[in-house]
Amino acid sequence: MEREDLFRKISVENDKKMVLLVLDGLGGLPLNDRTELETANTPNLDLLAAESELGLSHPIAPGITPGSGPAHLSLFGYDPLKYEIGRGILEALGVGIAVGARSVAGRGNFATLDNGRISDRRAGRIPTEKNREIIAYLRERIKTIEDVEVGLYPGEEHRFVLVLTGDGLSDQLSDADPEVTGKPIKYAEARSEEAARTARVVNLFIDRLTRELAGFHPANTCLLRGFAKYPAIPSMNELFRLKAAAIAVYPMYRGLAQLVGMEILETGRTIRDQVATLKQHYAEHDFFFVHVKKTDSYGEDGDFAHKVGVIEEFDRWLPEILELTPDVLVVTGDHSTPAVMKGHSWHPNPVLLKAAFQRRLPAGGASLGAIACGPPDGQACGRVDMAEARAKFSENACARGILGNFKAMDVLPLMMANALKFKKFGA
């Protein structure tokens, strides 16, 4: 019996509520002897950690640095090695694009080209409004290449989506991204004979876009990766009998959630907005995925202080989530993005799991809904003796936790079990 067949066999429906809080790129490495989590002032997370099960999870396998797509897929209970999904399709779905059978989608970055070499892979994170202006400009100038229809769609900041539509297109392409600065434009390569024409069209598009954007510095070229056609993947309802919902700002994460059958809840751009959306729709679903992006963005930028700031902001809003008293709550990251590395890394993710039936129960600590410090909206903060908080939520504390080191794709099964949503397997 395969893993997915097991889930279909033992999953049951009940009224238990599960909340998965993902701070993208949460894990870090020390700067001045402390990671971002260890540096952040997080009284609410620390108090919660004192009464929760802690551990570390590997998104793919030890030593493997994951992309955001497979890392999140793992958290949703899927084997990322079985479902290798290109980021392009996720970005496309996330911005509401219908991708048909004749189409291939790719995720694009506007980038900066100086003296023939890439000097900034994100074009200084141009404002989203500027992105939209550039896409509108390009749509009027690049409509077809070799009878292949070119679709361009703005994303957040420097990101956009390219959708190519035509007969005989393939997604068996390498990324057109040097992945580091200081190198020239890298072109896509075909990974099969059938993909040769698609690679040629992609590379002609890169050259055409670069010519058209010659006067648009810093957004004067592009990087393309994650080419993909629409995949076949079972929904979370099919596997786990969950009525699942996603609260995410960035298109890729909405796209991935949509791909596995979650309802996408419209929300604002701040953590406060996302918490408000969770509270508004809490009665309508039994599983919520809440995604916080900026921890990853600042990690990729090497901005240690601002990554710390996002963690602290999340901590201030945590009490409002706890007031909902979810039956199972998990706080984790999809992957680590240490600011000192300016990118994703292979280091395992800190995981906090709080539920009624966990093995590590509090001994004289506060309850799940206890508040160390309330949200930043003028409400009074309660006082808690932090000596009761026996563990700070950090990489080191999680390394000593009862959950140990495990695969990220076991996070959701652990949540299901703690929510009594699995029946016994076998006699």
Same-domain check for residues 302 and 405: yes
> Mean per-residue pLDDT for 253-262?
91
Same-domain check for residues 214 and 242: no
Measured between its terminal Cα atoms, the distance across the chain in Å is 16
6, part of any domain: no
244, part of any domain: yes
Strand ranges, E, within 179-286: 221-228, 244-247, 263-264
Residue 386: domain span? 13-84+233-418
Report the largest interatomic distance among the alpha carbons of the chain, rounded to a whole angstrom.
70
Q: Check residue 363 and give its pLDDT.
A: 44
Q: Check residue 374 and give its pLDDT.
A: 62
Phi, psi of 230, deg, nearest 5: -70, 125
Same-domain check for residues 151 and 265: no
Residues 6+ apart with CB under 8 A from 227: 86, 88, 104, 105, 106, 171, 173, 175, 188, 198, 202
Phi, psi of 130, deg, nearest 5: -65, -40
Q: Check residue 390 and give its pLDDT.
A: 53
Angstrom distance (rounded) from CA 332 to CA 352: 6
Last residue of one domain, picked from the residues 177, 195, 228: 228
pLDDT band at 360 (very low <50, low <70, confident <90, very high): low
Same-domain check for residues 154 and 262: no
pLDDT of 108 > 70? The answer is yes
Angstrom distance (rounded) from CA 98 to CA 92: 8
> Mean per-residue pLDDT for 308-324?
98
Q: Check residue 96 and give its pLDDT.
A: 83
8, part of any domain: no
**Nearest residue to 18 (alpha-carbon basis) of 265, 319, 356:** 356
CA distances from 395 to 21, 76, 138, 333 (A): 17, 22, 45, 11
Beta bridge partners of 370: none
Amino acid at 118: I
Same-domain check for residues 221 and 243: no
427, part of any domain: no
Helices (H) and strands (E) in the chain, counts: 14, 14
Beta bridge partners of 118: 113
pLDDT of 362 > 50? The answer is no
Angstrom distance (rounded) from CA 318 to CA 393: 13
Phi, psi of 333, deg, nearest 5: -120, 165
48, part of any domain: yes
Same-domain check for residues 341 and 196: no
Same-domain check for residues 212 and 102: yes
pLDDT band at 88 (very low <50, low <70, confident <90, very high): confident
> Mean per-residue pLDDT for 311-328?
98
Q: Check residue 366 and give its pLDDT.
A: 40
- Distance, C-alpha 160 to centroid of its chain: 17
Long-range contacts of 64-70 (CB under 8 A, 24+ apart): 64/346, 65/335, 65/344, 65/345, 65/346, 66/334, 66/335, 66/344, 67/226, 67/344, 68/24, 68/252, 68/253, 68/296, 68/334, 68/335, 68/344, 69/226, 69/252, 69/256
* Mean pLDDT for all residues in the chain: 92
Burial class (CB in 10 A: 0-12, 13-18, 19+), 189: middle
Q: What is the CATH number of the domain that holds 277?
A: 3.40.720.10
pLDDT of 181 > 60? The answer is yes
Last residue of one domain, picked from the residues 228, 247, 282: 228
Domain count, the chain: 2
Same-domain check for residues 129 and 187: yes
Amino acid at 238: E
Same-domain check for residues 272 and 323: yes
User: How do residues 365-424 score in pLDDT, each as one tens digit?
Assistant: 344 444 556 666 555 454 444 444 356 899 999 999 999 999 999 999 999 999 999 999
Report the percentage of the chain scoring pLDDT > 90: 83
The lowest-confidence range among 28-37, 174-183, 245-254, 370-379 is: 370-379
Angstrom distance (rounded) from CA 345 to CA 30: 13
> Mean per-residue pLDDT for 310-327?
98
Last residue of one domain, picked from the residues 179, 208, 228: 228
Q: Check residue 1 and give its pLDDT.
A: 87
Q: What is the DSSP letter of 255?
A: H
> Mean per-residue pLDDT for 145-165?
94
338, part of any domain: yes
Angstrom distance (rounded) from CA 30 to CA 291: 24
> Mean per-residue pLDDT for 282-297?
97
Q: What is the DSSP letter of 100?
A: -
> Mean per-residue pLDDT for 249-277?
93
Q: Check residue 101 and give its pLDDT.
A: 83
Same-domain check for residues 222 and 242: no
Q: Check residue 92 and give its pLDDT.
A: 87
> Mean per-residue pLDDT for 101-127?
94
Same-domain check for residues 390 and 249: yes
Same-domain check for residues 220 and 286: no
Residues 6+ apart with CB under 8 A from 298: 304, 306, 307, 309, 310, 339
pLDDT band at 87 (very low <50, low <70, confident <90, very high): confident
